[in-house]
Amino acid sequence: MADITREVQILSPIELVPVEILSNILHFLKDKDRLNLRACSKAMESAISHSDLHVFGYVHPEITLSGDFDCFTVNVGSTMRLRSDFDSLSEIKRMRHRLFKRAYAKSVNIRDVNFNVVPMSFIEDLLQGVVFQVLWFIVKREEFNESVSNRFIRKHEQKKIKFTMYDILLEKEALFGLLPMRELKAFGDVSWKPDDGTFIDLVRKGHTILEIPVDISSEETILEVLKIISDARKEQYVVFEVEFDMLERFIKLMGLQRTTEGLVRITTADEVRINYSKNYTIFCKKNNGT
């Protein structure tokens, strides 16, 4: 008779607990306790790496990726921080995957990340399994490459996106390829500015908050922007700067007068605030019928 050898695998009690139940238990632990619990046993380490992390209950219910001070940092909530230099990004990725399989957060914030140094694939790997509602993305000219708009933002364009650019504005084709965002902003020394027709078309895209540099030449453009906002089905807030002379022509076109406080208002369902500040910024806001 053949000799039959059987291997008996003895499971740790923690391995007998379903992942769903274990995730609910770990939900009540503080970040520090989750980190310490990993060191108890291999079974516990494995259990935590397959568990869910709920960031919604934290004081700061977001996950932040940043590249401050020559280091890459991942802040999960307000108390869990993973950090490494740019030569050891694999270590921070390894630690992230040991702490949770899925995470639920209100928002993901990305800032001060040079995408010419940090591969977009690394960011995507860190966010694998992360469920969130709002993407807040801040990028500077020297940090930008096309993977930001062509790859990452397009991947998450169904979410509520707040996209802010410093010293850069996406090229026209890329700009018009974006779905309407919660916020689309650009500041500083940009390489190009939308002219009258381009700006009007961009307002028609329906971004909830639009604030970008423009190069418009006609007061009629300002009036057209107001008409678009007035006819919009949802709330819009548009901020842009014009020269003083154009502002004067627009006021004359509308048949308005400046007050001594330098503020002009149209008290209808749509509000126009023309603020005579240093940069002569015009705020155009649709109040959604209120």
Provide the strand spans (E) within the chain. 52-54, 62-66, 71-76, 80-85, 102-104, 107-111, 130-131, 134-140, 160-166, 183-187, 209-211, 237-241, 263-265, 270-275, 281-286
- Exposed e or buried b for every residue in 60-95, given b needs 16+ CB within 10 A? bbbbbbbbeeeebbbbbbeebebbbeeeebeebbee
Each residue's pLDDT tens digit, 206-259: 999 999 999 999 999 988 988 888 888 888 888 888 887 887 788 788 776 655
At 284, give phi and psi (nearest 5°).
-120, 120
Residue range 199-218, pLDDT digits in tens: 999 999 999 999 999 999 99
Cα separation, 222 vs 54, whole angstroms: 46
CB 111 within 8 A of CB 64: yes
- Which tokens belong to 204? 């028609």
272 C-beta neighbours (distance < 10 Å), count: 21
Query: How far is Cα of residue 268 from the mean position of the Cα atoms in its chain?
Result: 33
Residues 25 and 14: their CA atoms lie apart, in Å, by: 12
Share of the chain above pLDDT 70, in %: 75
Chain segment 177-201, per-residue pLDDT in tens: 999 999 999 999 999 999 999 999 9
Q: How many CA atoms lie within 13 A of 125 on its CB side?
A: 14
Per-residue pLDDT band at 262 (split at 50, 70, 90): very low
Give tens-digit pLDDT for 123-159: 999 999 999 999 999 999 999 998 898 889 999 999 9
Q: What integer is the mean pLDDT of 275-279?
A: 44
Q: What is the pLDDT of residue 66?
A: 93
Q: Per-residue confidence at 56, pLDDT binned at 50, 70, 90? A: low
What tokens appear for 172 in the block?
A: 């026209």
Indicate the pTM of the whole model: 0.80
Residue written as token pair 């401050």: 68
| SS3 assignment for 222-260 | HHHHHHHHHHCCCCCEEEEECCHHHHHHHHHHHCCCCCC
- Amino acid identity of residue 76, one-letter, is V
Q: Distance of CA 274 to CAs 118, 141, 256, 287, Å?
A: 42, 30, 11, 16
Q: Over 70: is that where the pLDDT of 31 sits? A: no
Residue 73 has phi, psi (to 5 degrees) of -125, 135
Dist CA 281 CA 275 (whole Å): 6
* Confidence check: pLDDT of 86 > 70: yes
CA quadruple 70, 76, 78, 79: dihedral sign: negative
